[in-house]
Amino acid sequence: MYLKASKYFTGELQAMIMFKFILVLTVCVPFVISILPGLMLGPGRWLVLNIMPCDNPEQYDVLFDISRKKINRTHDCFDLDINLDRVFNHSYGLVIDVFQEVDGGFKYYQTISDDSACAFLMRQAEENVKKLLTLANVDPPDCPIREGLLSIKNYIFDYTELPRMGVYGTYEANAYCVFQDIRIGCAKVILNFDERNDDGDDDDDDDDDDDDDDDHRIFKI
């Protein structure tokens, strides 16, 4: 991923962008949806169908380009390069608005929030957070993250590591980076949880993401 940020925005926000796309959107959201009350749980498999900008992206101020290469139906590969000019700490919060697909549209279901995005990520996906930071040569692999270049190549994400029990359906989740109660960044992900059995099923002939091997998009978040 090549990120181009305005000089008015700090390295903390740049770090938050990385975490949101690779961790919040592909790890934390399925874990959170799996414990939402009032929905039917069952065994199955998560798939990330799409990652995209939130609605009206012009209201946000960071422009970046993310590259995702699909390996098969259970694995994606990401490349990330971020230059941090300041320390990323616990000053930034996180808000995730979750919507469930009903009758062809997405209906608001619940909001999850935390005053510290870093603490939330470590609590929900500590192993994946530390894996990313280790790949980026951050030592120790934890917050706060000091300034400098974070370069992550060929980060392979295994969707089978997500919960095997989930709430059946298709979901849209908008993840916001929050600073002093202001939503300064946003990213959207569409996920699906269904009853597919992964045993002996490692091709991608019926995958939802079959347009290209690479998902290469411009985001304003």
Can you name the residues that pair with 100 across neighbouring β-strands? Answer: 107, 171
pLDDT of residue 91: 84
pLDDT in tens, 139-156: 787 777 666 666 677 878
The model's pLDDT over 1-29, given as tens digits with 9 standing for 90+, comes to: 333 333 333 443 343 344 444 455 556 66
Range with lowest mean pLDDT among 42-46, 50-54, 179-183, 185-189: 50-54
155-177 average pLDDT score: 82
Displacement of CA 112 from its chain's centroid (Å): 14
Question: In angstroms, rounded to a whole number, what is the distance separating the alpha carbons of residues 163 and 166?
Answer: 7
**Sequence letter at residue 211:** D
Separation between Cα atoms, residue 212 and residue 82, nearest integer Å: 25
The sign one gets for the Cα dihedral 212, 213, 217, 221 is positive
Token pair of 180 as six digits:
């002093």
- The pLDDT value recorded for residue 135 is 72
8: number of Cβ within 10 Å = 7
**Residues 196-221: pLDDT tens digits?**
755 544 444 444 444 444 443 333 33
Give me the chain's average pLDDT, please: 69
| pLDDT score, position 218 | 35
φ, ψ dihedrals at 23, nearest 5°: -110, -60
Q: Quote the tokens at residue 121.
A: 């990520």
pLDDT at 179: 78
Query: 106 phi and psi, to 5 degrees?
Result: -100, 125
* Rg (alpha carbons) of the chain, rounded to whole number: 17
Name the percent of the chain lying above pLDDT 90.
Answer: 3
Q: Which two tokens stand for residue 131?
A: 């894996």
Q: pLDDT value at position 107?
A: 92
- The angle formed by the CA atoms of residues 111, 2 and 140, to the nearest 5 degrees, is 70
Q: How confident is the model at residue 119 (pLDDT cuts 50, 70, 90)?
A: confident
Which long-range CB contacts under 8 A does 100-108 form with residues at least 24 apart? Answer: 100/39, 100/169, 100/170, 100/171, 101/169, 101/170, 101/171, 101/172, 106/171, 106/172
Tens of pLDDT, residue by residue over 87-109, are 667 887 888 898 989 888 999 98
Asked whether the whole model's pTM tops 0.75, one would answer no
Distance of CA 69 to the CA centre of its chain: 15
Q: Is the pLDDT of residue 114 over 60?
A: yes
Give pLDDT, residue 33: 66
State how far the Cα of 191 lies from the Cα of 117, in Å rounded to an integer.
21
- Structural domains present in the chain: 2-195 (2.70.220)
